[in-house]
Structure 1
Amino acid sequence: MYAAWWGLADSILLFDEIQSLPLCHTYLFNTAVNFLASVLGCTVVLCTATQPELDRVKYPLHYAEPMDIVPDFALRFNQFRRTNIVPVCPDGGFTASALADFVLNKQNENRSILVILNTRAAVDKVFSSLKESSPPDTTLYCLTTHLCVQHRQDVIDTIKGRLADKTDTGRIICVSTQLIEAGVDLSFDCVVRSMAGLPSVAQAAGRCNRHGEAACRPVYLVETELKLENLDNLPDLREGRLATQRLLRKLPLNADLLAPDSIRAYYRLYFQEHAQTDRMGDPAVIDGVERDLFDLLIVNRHAVLAYTERTKNAAPSLLLPRQAFGTAEKNFHALEDITTPVLVPYGESGKKLVGSLLTAKYITAEQLRQAQPYAVGVTKQEYRRLEQYGALLPAAGGTVTVLQETNYDADKGVQTTPGPLSFLEI
């Protein structure tokens, strides 16, 4: 471990899209970067258009002086402006059908429109509403993680080709989750973004007028009804949305939401929440007790207390090792992966691969490589529902699970309701 750390000495480290750092890893990240910079002599560069104020938390990041590589970055924000954020907050928020009507109304001024929502369920509902009411000359596209990687890439390539084709006069609406907000080079005439944290709003704005096709284009920041987008199980998204809502109430009308001052104000609102502070140290339930991984690696209060109670001795010196490295490593997850991969029969290649695996006794390394673009991660609840409908089949001797073709929609990908010819009905 020490060799790995010292191998980074005097390096230049670039962390791109640092605003995407999970809140729970804030203290661990700050402490590690401070060590890399101050002890190992590294130069650490945080790249983002929405710099989080990591120096304003309990265990802060120690920025260099001057902090910014570009001294006049505020001026650059104005020079590179391509969009205008327009909040639209009707009483009670948009329903799926009302939001669909709002989007269709915007087609009068925009050939291509991107709609970004916070959940797959919301995307499904709004996409279905648009399908019922969109005019014949409008093509609808859907992008969520219910589509396999190959399917998503094919949709993105199709949209990119149509947006670049000056002879194509057909209208385009794409409804997506936030997966489209980073690493996707698409430029729409208009973006409609459901209420979210300001960094996500900035990322969404980056998909509008991306190449400066016009002087300025609108990005509508819309409020949806709570029933449409339930974020109770997505605390980072929920708290980000609440911080943006509070910021909108504080800022004057027509204020620039993406100006550096607005971004700083957003992070102060976002970080000041007590619940947020409690989550910055990577909380985890260990042996039925809620612990803090950051504490396990610093002073390990729980173990020290147990030691003093059991031995009746004073707490050991801070100079003595007390960290629970093994326990922390076992319970640390860079990303919470709570899904199970299911292989889907998308396209001719996907169908051929699924067919071969259904009759195979095991999966080869080459087949495993070929299967990766055709895998979709489903939640435990979705997996149980698909099992109930008989939509999942064991393949390759039970080493992989494949989805029936009737449960993979050509537009929306994995469907957790019974297909028209599912085994349940045969």
Structure 2
Amino acid sequence: MCAKHRSQILEKVREDLLQGKPCRLVSTSLIEAGVDVDFPCVLRAEAGLDSIAQAAGRCNREGKRERKDSKVLIFQSPDWRAPPELEQLAGNMREVMRNHNRSLLSPGALTSYFNAVYWSKGDELDKKKILETHNNHCRQLSFPFQNIARDFRMIETMLKPVIIEFDDKAERLLRDLEFAENASSIARQLQVYLVQMPEHGFKELLKAGAIKPIKPEKFGDQFWRLTDLDLYDEGAGLSWDNPVFMEAEKTII
């Protein structure tokens, strides 16, 4: 979901929880990044212990329930396996769980988990040899800052932003962008209408003609908009699994 859409959903979630209404939220791991919601029960698919600790922070967040009424359950699904980059972390978590079953989020359990992760990853943690480069130059005080800045990426996966025409304001901003000479102010306002996509998903949408650049002769590939709004669902946001999808009723002449 774009941020504007997400904030509306979370506002409704908080309202339902506050009023004690039944509320079931199915979410990506984004919910773990400091989102302020307080559920009585959290079910988390197997992941790294750090992710499970973050998910647990959405359970009894405000401390208003008894401990026995606040549950965090970790599950395995027979129909879904964690992607390879997460499976190793889930394996490290399972190893710690065997030894710390009653205190999985204790400091000792978390220390054991990260020791296992760092040991299993080994040299993979510094594949580009940034620390080695730094140490080789530190005695001469000739640090290759430019090379380090080029090589270091906190997140390696490249994401591409796509603008979603989510409401009337987004529509107006996109219209203004078509005629703007300086796009900086409009770009800032469009931030809440962006969906960040992995590169393979972006390429699938591009191949299907579901996204188009805005004024490429002026802005290059800076701005992309979703032109096939059938792919944006009000319950789940943007899906690129089947970019040639079209609602059945729109195929009727």
Given the two structures, how large is their TM-score scaled by the length of structure 1? 0.52
1:150 Cα shift? 1.2
User: Secondary structure at 2:42's aligned position in 1?
Assistant: strand
Q: Is 2:127 aligned against 1:283?
A: yes
Q: Give the superposition deviation at 1:355.
A: 4.1
Structure 1 residue runs of 5 or longer lacking an equivalent are 1-146, 285-291, 301-317
1:298 aligns with 2:117: no
Q: Taking every aligned residue pair, what percent have the same amino acid on both sides?
A: 26
Residue 325 of structure 1 is aligned with which of 135, 145, 151?
Answer: 145
Distance 2:53 2:139 in 1: 45
User: Quick one: structure 1 residues 320 and 209, their matched pair in 2 at CA, closer, same or farther if it must change by over 3 Å?
Assistant: closer
Q: Which residue of 12, 28, 31 maps to 1:180?
A: 31
Q: Distance in 2 between matches of 1:248 and 1:321?
A: 45
The Cα shift of 1:298 comes to 0.9
CA change 1:419–1:353 in 2 (3 A) is farther
Q: 2 CA distance for matches of 1:192 and 1:221?
A: 6
8 Å CA contact 2:46–2:82 kept in 1: the answer is: no
Contact conserved, 1:240 with 1:270, CA < 8 A, in 2? yes
AA paired with 1:411?
A: G
Rounded Cα–Cα distance in structure 1 between residues aligned with 2:132 and 2:201 = 35
Check whether the contact 1:361–1:396 (CA below 8 A) recurs between aligned residues.
Answer: no
Report the structure, 1 or 2, having the larger strand content.
1
Aligned equivalents of 1:371, 1:361: Cα separation in 2? 14
Equivalent position amino acid for 2:179 in 1: A
Give, in angstroms, the shift of residue 345 of structure 1. Answer: 1.0
**In the alignment, residue 383 of structure 1 is paired with which amino acid?**
F
Distance 2:112 2:80 in 1: 28
2:149 corresponds to 1:340: no
Q: How far apart are residue 326 of structure 1 and its match?
A: 2.5
1:148: which partner in 2?
Answer: 2
Task: State how far apart, in whole Å, the 2-side matches of 1:384 and 1:319 are.
Answer: 46
CA distance in 2: counterparts of 1:175 and 1:272, whole angstroms? 33
- Rate the CA distance shift 1:412–1:362 in 2: closer, same or farther, 3 A: farther
Give the conservation status (yes or no) of the 8 Å contact 2:157–2:198. no
Counterpart AA for 2:83 = L
In structure 1, what is the Cα distance between the partners aligned to 2:106 and 2:113? Answer: 11
Rg comparison, structure with higher value: 1
SS in structure 2 of the partner of residue 376 of structure 1: strand
2:215 alignment partner in structure 1: 396
Contact preservation (8 Å) 1:342, 1:376:
yes
User: CA 1:263–1:364 in 2, change beyond 3 Å: closer, same or farther?
Assistant: closer
The residue aligned with 2:200 is: 381
Q: CA–CA distance in 2 between the matches of 1:158 and 1:396? A: 36
**Distance (Å, rounded) in 2 between the aligned partners of 1:322 and 1:397:** 41
Q: Distance in 1 between matches of 2:115 and 2:153?
A: 26
Q: In structure 1, what is the equivalent of residue 52 of structure 2?
A: 201
Number of equivalent positions = 241
Which residue number corresponds to residue 62 of structure 2? 211
- What residue in structure 2 maps to residue 371 of structure 1? 190
Deviations for 1:376-422, whole angstroms, at most 9, x for unmatched residues?
11122111111122111221345311002222111111122224269
Match of 2:232 in 1: 408
1:182 and 1:384, CA in 2 relative to 1: closer, same or farther beyond 3 A? closer
- In the TM superposition, what whole-angstrom CA distance separates every residue of 1:279-306 from its partner, at most 9, and x where no partner exists? 33x323xxxxxxx011111116xxxxxx
Q: Distance in 1 between matches of 2:6 and 2:13?
A: 11
| Counterpart check, 1:265 vs 2:137 | no
The RMSD of aligned alpha carbons is: 2.5
Corresponding residue for residue 349 of structure 1: 169
